[in-house]
Structure 1
Amino acid sequence: MSTGRIQFAEQDGTFVLKFVGEVRLTLCSALDATIERIFTALNFTAIVIDLTETRSIDSTTLGLLAKLSILSRQKIGLLPTLVTTNEDISRLLESMGFDQVFNIVNRPVPCPECLDDLPSQDQSEDVVKAKVLEAHKILMGLNESNRAAFHDLVNALEQH
């Protein structure tokens, strides 16, 4: 079981996602559903992802964040903001090429009391596998290093 959670708030035209603890695959269905919800609304002026309380984050979650950024640029021409104060998380984001698809800052988000936990979502193994595959393909598209790092995983997922 994951020891992390994702919180969400919408306030004054800003969507805020806050990742707390160890954010892993088990939270990705809820995250993906929230990303879809954000882009059906289309009535916002900013997206902020707060990673200031994130201890670790897996590659599937990173892929979904990259998807969020790509959709944001395509649909509304907006570059989302990532907030991190953890040096390890900052290094990871930079190594994945996130500095090219996000504004990365180190200022915490105001109004943490406004956030609610995302509801959990039960998904079939096939749906989860499809989300993992999509997330890693998106990461591979960000840079050559990611392409090499996730090539074998993507091939293995596509074979099964």
Structure 2
Amino acid sequence: MGEDSQSIYQVCTQPDYVFVKVNGRASYVNCDPFRRFLHDVLADGQCKFVFDFADCSGLDSTFLGILAGVALAIRGKEEDSCMTLLQLGERNLETVKNLGIHRIANVRAKENPPDIENLEGIGDGFNGETASVREVYEAHKRLTELNESNARKFHDVVAFLEQRLDEEEVGDRDPDKTQ
């Protein structure tokens, strides 16, 4: 990456929480390294997350489904487990509220982030692969489980992705498939 380019996802793992700064547009195109990072820190037992969206220009539903998955995964794990979303900006805040994510995460739109140094970019060596069909499906499925409105909004997307997954599965089992 060039010297003036900045990772979309910058992280710092503290002993008692994980801090993530999101720069630019967070979407299915670039969220796979982010998803893998969150999977790893959840597996390590982290249950407090702070996300700073001050420099985030947009959030897509795949990214938000990943966030919802983390919020649901930590829910009830420990008494002080939580996800906090800071400085969302008007448009991103509206999206978060429309999808019901504000009900499973602490939203503090105007609160400043903690003073964090040593942020590390994740996905700097990103190979350009977008999230897989399965990952996009799982993210949208999580959103549909949050509320009935999301179930209606994403019904067609989920149905399409289920069809794609079924086709991939059949293709993987096809004995005539060339290697």
Would you say same fold, with TM above 0.5?
A: yes
Change (3 A) 1:33 1:74: farther
- Which whole-Å CA distance do the structure 2 matches of 1:4 and 1:95 have between them? 27
Equivalent residue, structure 2, for 1:57: 59
Aligned-residue offset at 1:146: 0.9
Q: Name structure 2 gaps, 5 residues minimum.
A: 1-5, 165-179
Runs of 4+ aligned structure 1 residues displaced above 6 Å come to none
CA offsets, 1:104-128, max 9 Å, x none? 0121212343311112555877x61
Change (3 A) 1:139 1:4: farther
CA offsets, 1:46-99, max 9 Å, x none? 210111211101100000000010111153352211112411111111111011
Give % identity: 27
Equivalent residue, structure 2, for 1:95: 98
Equivalent residue, structure 2, for 1:137: 141
Aligned-residue offset at 1:37: 1.2
- Which whole-Å CA distance do the structure 2 matches of 1:22 and 1:68 have between them? 19
- Structure richer in helix, relative to its length: 1
Larger radius of gyration: 2
Which residue, out of 18, 24, 30, partners 1:21? 24
- Paired residues, number: 156
Pairing of 1:51-90 with structure 2 (within 5 A): 51-77=53-79, 78-90=81-93
Q: Name structure 1 gaps, 5 residues minimum.
A: none
With normalisation by structure 1, the TM-score equals: 0.87
What root-mean-square deviation, in Å, do the aligned CA atoms of Structure 1 and Structure 2 show? 2.2
Contact 1:6 1:27 in 2 (8 A): no
Change (3 A) 1:150 1:45: closer
| Structure 2 residue identity aligned to 1:148 | R
Which residue, out of 134, 149, 163, partners 1:159? 163
For the residue of structure 2 that corresponds to 1:63, the secondary structure is: helix
